[in-house]
Structure 1
Amino acid sequence: MDPRRSAQDVLRCQLCDTPVPPLYCGICHIHICKACVGDHLLDESSEHKVVPFDKRGLTTKCQKHSTKVCELYCEECDMSICATCASSEHKSHEFIDILKYFEDKKDSIQKDLQELKKSINPKYQEIVSHISVQIADLNKNSQKLTSAINKHGEDLHREVDIVIKDIKSNLEEIDSKQSAVLNKHENEIKFTISEIVQCTTDLEKLLNSNDINLVTAYKSRNTEFRKLPLKLKVSLPSFTPQKISTEQLYEQFGSLSSTSLNIEAHDNTIDSPGADTSASYKTLIDEPQIVKDIKTEYGKQNPLRDVSCLSGEYIWTSGFDNIMKLYNLQGELVKSVKTKSGDHPRDIAVTKKGDLVYTDYVDKSINMVKNTEIQTLIKLQGWKPRNICCTSSDDLLVVMNSNGNNKTKVVRYSDSKEKQTIEFNDKGQPLYSSRDIKYIKENMNLDICVADWAARGVVVVNQAGKLRFTYTGTRSGSKTSFKPRGIATDSQSRILVADWDNHRIHIIDKDGQFIRFFDNYDLQNPWGLCVDARDDLFVADNGGNEIKKIQYCK
């Protein structure tokens, strides 16, 4: 029978064929009438979860125990689990009722949707409108200057015709370049707006969905969208006519004033509608706790050095050999990858997509690991990469030394292309010492923080590369001078620094003010640091060759 010419049958019980069954088994994925539900529940080959038909989709099978229903959600592992999982491999973790997590996630999606509609998208539209005004002003000013140039040229007769042509050409070139930059910037923002609109549409679909897997898999992009694009401010040229002699025509005819496109940052974040900022602030707890001691295979011949969080459950590590190792929180080795050149990595980091990147000092390269394949992203000439971090916009910040080890700079790469260089302060003096270890991390306020071991301090610049402050430690209880190694930042823009020689961690605020130490935690030369999404600190303990997971804030 042609389905296009036949009527669609009503939904029927899949056990007895009764039409319009009111129940649904979320484990067996079948429709059931009331008369058959008892017999179905007597089938002990599997657990069952019978719910009203309109509540279908709110149950899911456990990935590890196929006959079990996921009734809980493990917050530490970010996954649905059954009661068996909760009493075994997730025994020490924190978990909540899955339906409560589902409802909380729906609330979060609703808030994101409202923020996109009422706050973020209007702000982007306002920025585009401002760019359009600048373009109009640029065109209007160009027309005004063109008239002035023509009038002045007529006063000086035929002798100035060639000069007029030259200066008008210069003006057109300036106009063209600035218009091109503004148009490009406008197109980039409009593209982001299209992404916001698409995200809004996707969230509206999620809010109408009862598919628990789709809803719980949702990852908010609002943090990315809150970071507004850079502001381009056009400095309009002007024309200054002069009374000139024919012999000095080119020198005295007049010139366009210098012009520039100044980059200014918008407010980096947009306050969420009705947000209570005090409620989201995480305070330091009085007595930080070591919640995990993760044993590793590193030892005296190859001590542990670096650590980078892949997720709340996995961490990448490296030492002084050519093997980078992925561990879970139980200390089990999950994966190991050898460097391409055979030399040990100087530093490791994890991108927003979860790929491992590392620097090869001898090979002068920056590399990415995808599964077990290694791809060379950047090959340097005249410079050697040392330490690296991934930014919130998925750029790479790389600290590098010159071949002669007499210069150091920080370079930002976007899609493997050099985007920014940070080397000197406003007086033309080097910001960083010329050699040795310099761990780097981007803060939540987009500051760039470098722990400079040789300079015995932490150097912090803003997003534009301007020096904000230098932190040189505090002598309180110090056995030796402050020589920082690893560095990390948390969700509150606090900066955490490893004090290797004094066996402790410094915590300072975003403006360089000392807050407190972490000591008396059996730290033996802490080296690498990283902070996960929950603001738990992971310390690569160089002396003990283990990873310590420390809970330090509420």
Structure 2
Amino acid sequence: MMGKNKKHRSSKDRAQDVLRCDVCSETEWEKSPAEVHCSTCHTNICGPCVAKHMASNDSFKHDIVLLHSANTDVDLPNCPSHSTVKCELFCKQCIVPICLKCLSSNHNCHPVEEITELCVTIRAKIQKNTEKLKTELIPKFKNFAASEEGKTKQLTQAYEIFKSSIEDYGKKIHRAVDAVITKYKAKAQLMSETDAQILQQQREDIKRFLSEIKKEAAQNKLLEKSRNVTELLAYKEKTRDAPILKNIIPPVFKFLPDALIESSIFGYFPNSQVVVAQGEPSWKTIINPVSIDVTCYTHQMPYKQLYRIASTKLLGLWTIGSENIVRLINTMNGSIVKSITTPMNLIDICTNDSENLYVCDDKTIYKKDSGLNFKRCFSAPDSWSVKALAISRVTIPETDVTSGIPLNLLMVLTEGTRQCKVVCLTNSLSPMREFQYDSNRRNLYNPNRSDFYLAENRNGDICVSDTTALVVIDKLGKFRSRYHGQYTFRELFTPRGVTTDHRGNILLADFGKKCIHLLDQNVYFVRYITGGGSLDRIIDVSCDDNEGVLVAESDTGKIKYIRYQ
């Protein structure tokens, strides 16, 4: 009896290790291990008894789930394909939850994972991330928040010093201006006294001369009545040195434009810089700089149409237009310094700091001599035409060019509408290098254009505008970039003159959009220069070394000077 009870207890202990089916026979020994759970009836069921259980009461829907899912703390979603069944699995291949029926049909042989286990993994990741936020980022940014107050205080103090420096500098400028005004007023007073003395002396000379000729007139009148032959024969007309009359034109003080007064006194107003501090968050914030365009002055040129301009960098600007006259103007006051009439139909003009001036028609390049004449220095080969000029300052290393001679002149040559190339000349004005094709033997430039504009950047890049695009190659002729404009305007991109500034930026005139495209050295667009909307049909541009660009308007014949930052 005791052995039987022992055997019975042992079997019962083993039965408690697993959950048994609640639908099987009431005899404990005949109950099978439960495989699923009916969430509706709260019943554990083995596989063979599922149908029997569902048929036992078909008045409501039985929610059958895997046994371990019955005790989970997540709400399993309904299967979109089998609305009466819960999704207990997750298909890793299709990245969707599925039920057991889906596993045997559409997702057969797909790698799956139980949703409950997946949720456990996800919760572990969430817990790990939360722990990282609490232990790392939150303390770190608490420190940042605390330091920001100190930064604000330091920034306020720095700006107070900055404003105080401006005020101190202003007082210094006031003293300097007062001193200059006193000096110039004294100079003006001296000039006034000197000129007054000249006029006083002139009045005295006139009075003396008038007295002399009156005296002579009286003597002549007596002589007229004389009967003495000897006196009459001895008469000779006196030679008189009449005083040279002078007119003094007093000076007129010419005021600088306000923008130039400000920049000449204070220079360039510095902007603060926003940078990402080392060791702080690595995300980047793009800060667009404020665009400042100031049209400082406008000069009307005596051309019906302007064609090309070239700055001498020394307050001078050479110009050519519809008349065959080359003019040098003073960029400050617009006065014409020199005028050279030529028999050529000029196409382009270029110069450099030493004022070597080159001009060209469609066949020949001329260089200005020390006077006001042009000497022929280069002729294009037969069937070729000269389209644009630029002076180069880049030296090609001896490893790249046999002679190592510094380049002197660049030009664009075309052969009808068939070929187009850039030719580099040496100081001896003989062709040294030619750039026509890229590495794939494709044309760099569009030969089917009539107008070209040429400039060299400070890094040696050669920039060619052909009225449809800007093409940039390096100093060895390797293709760098082709710029087709920005598509933010309705007007077509119509590039014309091109120039570069002392920072290596490229400035490209846009004839139709009435603006200038400012590009960086890598031919990336920076912004537009619009001159406050005052520009009209820009044909050419030329930079000085002071953050300024001279702009030629084709139809108005105006030269405008724009200060940009």
> TM-score, normalised to structure 2's length?
0.47
* Structure with more strand by fraction: 1
> TM-score, normalised to structure 1's length?
0.47
